Amino acid sequence: MTATAPEVSTPLLEVSGVTKRYPGVLAVDDVTLSLETGQIVGLVGKNGAGKSTLIKIIAGAEHADEGDLRLNGEPLELHRPHDATEAGLAFVHQDLQDVGDLSVAENVMLGLGYPRKMGLFVDWTELHRQAAEPITRLEADIDPREPVGELSVAKQRLVMIARGLAQQAQLLVLDEPSASLTDEEIEHLFAVVRRLRDDGITVVYVSHRLEEIFELTERVIVMRNGQLVADEPTESLDRSSLIAHITGHEHAQTAVERRASRGVGGRPDAEVVLEVDGVSADTGVHGCSFDVRKGEILGVGGLMGSGRTEMVRAVFGADHRREGSVRVHGIEVSDKHPSESMAAGLALLPEDRKTQGNIMDFSVRHNITLASLDRHRARLRVPAPSGRSEKQATDRRIDRLSIATPHDRQLVRLLSGGNQQKVVIAKWLEQGADVLIFDEPTIGVDVDGKEEIYDIMEELAAEGKAVVFISSEFSELVGVCHRVLVLHEGRIVGELEGDAVTEPAIVEICYSQH
């Protein structure tokens, strides 16, 4: 597949025939593309499609087995990440890579050499002045003296972009830059990206959120199974054709269609399983009360920082409750330890599968059985797990949830994000809770994976479990939830039910609070 280069100028970056193999996997398969100066290019594909590997090769963090790179027509040799920086390529990764204890200015100028006084001491005034330049260019309200660790995620990303500007970057790669940003922050980010494009910087924008791709980019590159499967102007695509490129098969259902086809309706007569009454916590939760019924999927929406995670953590007893009560099947549950909530039938699938959901260096099997290990005793009284019993249970879950893993002894660290999330789900299905709280289960999960997670939640509800589903993507809530609560600053400020559950209605409640 050869990209057509315009006659007028040489492209900024040319990638030709780049191939990268890992043991057992062809991660990048003969990819050829070229990027022009001053373009916003979307790079999309499922988890494991080869996007990250391709980016790592361009960043000099991985070495291609075959193929080569050219920058402004000159061959580009990258032996280490610093070479890419020198060449004017800047990368903002999803996991923020700044140094939290250092100030904004120190982070922006990191690796560029700080200005010196008398050849020895750092010239702080000059450092702050130099760092202020790119920050001003981004129209960001950030004090160069502030420690980066105390900034919001959005501002930390801007600091990373500012570092790229300070390095005179010609190409800026943003990997999932909108994750954990509020809508306003995303708007600002978009404005920044457009301004950079107008200044002649090429921006590669990697995202799973297709709405953003359509709003922001001029051209879309789609990768699947390591190959470049589409490279087209954004305007020639629509949502369903893009999804078809990404997944390789025709199936694109919008949230509204999904809602219509499944007939999402409440069960007002079903038994109330979870009763939350006036729960407050020092983490910023104020008097939250709600019920969840058997067979219901209750959505929890709200902007970033609205206290959704904090509320469910207090309900589960992961954090201490200042006041209020939680009852499961009418029986009060204490907040002493998560194990008490689990015994009562509550389960929390935490927001971050890497730091809270899984033991990353445990095998799939040991993660899945971790919350229900006492059910795998060979002899009932001896607290020693039977490997055979564990394996049977695990294999069943791997099969049911179609977790892509070579075997049940594989380390969870080596699975893709979506499969790691499925391992968390499998652990709690195995534990057998009656009320399952899913905190942002679809973050960083690709299109197919998301669908599978929705299906799992719907199956659980159909089996008579109660499900609480937190999401920042309101369309998801519309797609699967019977009822949606909206939070703002740790308080429940709205509740939508039945046909009233629409995206505009949720957004309306979120923004009418300001």
Footprint of other proteins (CB under 8 A)? 21-26, 45-50, 224-226, 316, 318, 337-339, 342, 348, 350, 355-362, 366, 370-371, 373-374, 383-385, 404-406, 411, 414-416, 418-419, 427, 446, 448-449
The least CB distance from residue 390 to other proteins, in Å, is 10
Query: 4 vs 355, which CB is nearer to other proteins?
Result: 355
CB 60, CB 13: distance < 8 Å: no
The β-bridge relationship of strands 483-488 and 297-302 is parallel
CB 92, CB 172: distance < 8 Å: yes
Query: 252 vs 270, which CB is nearer to other proteins?
Result: 252
Secondary structure letter of residue 4 according to DSSP: P
Q: Take residue 40 and report the two structure tokens written for it.
A: 């916003």
The least CB distance from residue 418 to other proteins, in Å, is 6
Residue type, 380: L
Query: 469 vs 474, which CB is nearer to other proteins?
Result: 469
Query: 302 vs 350, which CB is nearer to other proteins?
Result: 350
Query: 117 vs 413, which CB is nearer to other proteins?
Result: 413
Query: 88 vs 350, which CB is nearer to other proteins?
Result: 350
Distance CA 71, CA 69 (A): 7
The least CB distance from residue 374 to other proteins, in Å, is 6
The least CB distance from residue 357 to other proteins, in Å, is 6
Query: 132 vs 404, which CB is nearer to other proteins?
Result: 404
127: enclosing H helix or E strand: helix 124-137
CB 489, CB 496: distance < 8 Å: no
Q: Give DSSP secondary structure letters for 371-394.
A: GGGGGGBSSTTS--B-HHHHHHHH
The least CB distance from residue 243 to other proteins, in Å, is 14
Q: Take residue 465 and report the two structure tokens written for it.
A: 């479990």
The least CB distance from residue 328 to other proteins, in Å, is 15
Residue 25 CB neighbours (<10 A): 13
Q: Take residue 278 and report the two structure tokens written for it.
A: 């006036």
Q: Give DSSP secondary structure letters for 40-108.
A: EEEEE--TTSSHHHHHHHHHTSS--SEEEEEETTEEE--SSHHHHHHTTEEEE-SS--S-TTSBHHHHH
The least CB distance from residue 187 to other proteins, in Å, is 31
Query: 189 vs 398, which CB is nearer to other proteins?
Result: 398
Query: 49 vs 201, which CB is nearer to other proteins?
Result: 49
Helices and strands, counts by H and E, the chain:
17, 22
The least CB distance from residue 333 to other proteins, in Å, is 13
The least CB distance from residue 448 to other proteins, in Å, is 7
Query: 158 vs 346, which CB is nearer to other proteins?
Result: 346
310: enclosing H helix or E strand: helix 308-316
The least CB distance from residue 200 to other proteins, in Å, is 34
The least CB distance from residue 447 to other proteins, in Å, is 11
The least CB distance from residue 389 to other proteins, in Å, is 13
Query: 37 vs 227, which CB is nearer to other proteins?
Result: 227
CB 115, CB 127: distance < 8 Å: yes
* Structure-token match 């006041």, residue found: 323
Query: 303 vs 318, which CB is nearer to other proteins?
Result: 318
For residues 120-140, one letter each, b for 16 or more C-beta atoms within 10 angstroms of the residue's C-beta and e for the rest, the string is eeeebeebbebbbebbebbeb
Distance CA 471, CA 153 (A): 18
Q: Give DSSP secondary structure letters for 486-513.
A: EEETTEEEEEEEGGG--HHHHHHHHHTT
Distance CA 147, CA 144 (A): 8
